[in-house]
Every structure is written in C-alpha cells, then in structure tokens.
Amino acid sequence: MDTKVKQENKCDTEVKQSAIESLETLGPYILEQDNAKNFVYVSDIPQLCKDDPCMLGVDEAGRGPVLGPMVYGIAFCPLSKKDILKQLGFADSKQLTEEKRDQIFDEMNRKDFAKEALGWAVEAISPNVISMSMLRRTKHSLNEVSMDSAIGLINSAIEAGVNIAEVYVDTVGPPEKYQAKLKAIFPKFKITVAKKADSTYPIVSAASIAAKVTRDHALKVWKFRERPNEEVNTFGSGYPGDPITKKFLSEIDLVFGFPRLVRFSWSTAGNALEKKAYNMEFEDEADAKDAQKASYGSEKLSKYFAASKNENRKRHEFFRDRCLEHVVDI
C-alpha cells in the first residue's frame, strides 16, 4: 500500500483507551469522539488470550449505506474456550434483532466468564474519511480502506499481546486474493477468508456484533456540526431504499451540499447534488496568494523560465523538410 496513504489514514485515526464496560457506556464513549475522524477502541485483553493460542475473527458493518461510518470489528478468544461463543449466542448479526445484538454485546462486556476469555476491538471509519479516500487524486477504493482497517486491527491485537494462532475473515472481494494478501503479511497464522464467514464461524459472528452494535450506537448519538439543532436520527438507516433516508437526502443545502454524515462519494449522494445544488467554484488559497504577490509590482521569478505565448520560434529543419505541422484539433 502507498506509504502516503498509510500516513494520512494514521493521521485521521484516534486511538482511545477509555474503557467500554457495558452497552450503557458505549454511546457516551462514542459521543466523546470526533466524528470527522476514525477512532479505534481495543478492549481489555484477558490474560488467557495472552497465554493460550487464540482464534481471531474479522467482520464489518455499514459497508453499503450512503451515510454514517463503516465499522470494522475483531473478536478473539482461546481455541480451548470456543464453547463460550455458543454460550453467548453468537450468530450472524444481520439475522439477529437489534435488541438481541445489544443484549449479546452487553453480556460479552459484563459477564465474568466472557471477560475472562473474550476480547474485541473496533475501528469506526468516518464517512468523511471514506469520501476523501475515494475521491482523492490517487484513488483509494472502499475495498482498500476495508482491508487496511482489518489489517490494522489484527496488528492492534498483536501489539496488545494477543497470542493469535488462527484468523477467520469475512471476505472483501475475491476470497482467494484476500487470503493470499493476509497470508503474506501474517505468515505465522492459519488464515481463512470466506464469504458469509459471520454465519459459519462464531468468532467472526462475535466480531460482526461488535461492529454492528458500535455502528448502530454511533448513528444514535451522531452530532451534527452543520446542523446544531438537528433532532436525533432524522436520517433513518442510511440505506438508499429507506424512505426516511430518502427524505433526508432530499434536504440539500444548495451551496454546501450534505453534512459530513453523508458519504458524498456515493453515486446516490452525487446524483442528488447534481440535480439540486448550485455549481460552485472556490478560489484556491494558494492561487489567491500568488495573485496577491504578483500585484506588488515585482514580477515572479518563474516568468523568466516560461516561454512567451507570442514567441515565434523557428521550427527544426527535420519538421520543415517533411512539411510536418503541430496539430491542435483532430
């Protein structure tokens, strides 16, 4: 991956270490974060996860919606304690009700038997960062953003001392290519990348629930910088088919467009802006400064290195002999 992209992503991410001890403390923790940047949270690491070989699962929530963060999650526990995953009732988070997901998340952070053998971490990727990554001059696709987050979270677990032996990942793109990429980065681990891994491997389901519950509560406590009087969640689920989301997207500021909640790199948002918003041209600050400097009566040094537009240079004889002319329009 491009080193520059790595550095920019690192600058956009805040690592916080305040404890999330229950579902009740999740919302207040998220509320303290700057929602224009990414943030990473790593739970306390059980001693068993440092001493015994562990399995680690990776999954995401919020990849498709037109608004809100995309959240990547990991969960890990000793191979010898995998029965805890069944005891907590982990299953594909999309097949569980919101109430059931919240209940499981609360229990995995409160129950002693869970805290002694299960850990987790999430990265909330800001819609602002997603949009800037996808629209920058050197494009950074959503798949690349996703893979970077997954790799970063695995590294966070390693740095925290988790004794990883096996890694299970819900795929982004072709599973074979993704698995080969991860295997090259983490050659000591047994790595399995599969489609719908969250419904096959309970440890991936645990990661999925951590990611999904974090995203749900990030939307519930979202703070608008642009609309300070906005009521809580007037924007729906964020999926383009949601009538509440459709209504929210129709309310466009004709000059500034959407608030940062919206992923303006999505075609749904872009099409809405093209239909309703004004075409705006903002003067680049650097251009304005250059123009100001040039107006003081001193010519810019660069002028002496540029050819005059009216300069008639004699063409080289190679071109004259062959009657070759410079073609502007074809």
Measured in whole angstroms, the distance separating CA 229 from the mean position of its chain's CA atoms is 27
| Integer Cα distance of 201 and 49 in angstroms | 18
**Beta strand residue intervals within 116-265, DSSP E:** 119-125, 164-170, 190-194
Other Cβ atoms within 10 Å of 46 Cβ, number: 21
Q: Is 283 annotated as a binding residue?
A: no
Which DSSP letter does residue 51 get? H
**Measured distance CA(41)–CA(24) in Å, rounded:** 16
Query: What distance, in Å, lies between the first and last C-alpha atoms of the chain?
Result: 39
What is the C-alpha separation between 119 and 207, in angstroms, rounded? 10
Q: Enter the DSSP assignment of 93.
A: G
Quote the CA–CA distance of 211 and 69 in Å, as a whole number: 11
Residue 280 CB coordination number (10 Å): 9
Euclidean distance between CA atoms 39 and 221, whole angstroms: 15
329 is in an annotated binding site: no
How many whole angstroms separate alpha carbon 157 and alpha carbon 210? 15
Q: How far apart are CA 58 and CA 148, in angstroms?
A: 12
Helix, strand, or coil (residue 134): helix
User: Using CA atoms, how far apart are residues 106 and 122, in angstroms rounded to an integer?
Assistant: 15
CA distance to 86, 118, 255, 315, per residue, from 110 (Å): 16, 11, 47, 82
59 annotated to bind ligand: yes
Distance CA 6, CA 151 (A): 12
The Cα 193–Cα 8 span in angstroms is 27
Task: Could you list the residues known to form a binding site, using ranges.
Answer: 59-60, 170
Task: Could you list the residues known to form a binding site for a divalent metal cation, using ranges.
Answer: 59-60, 170
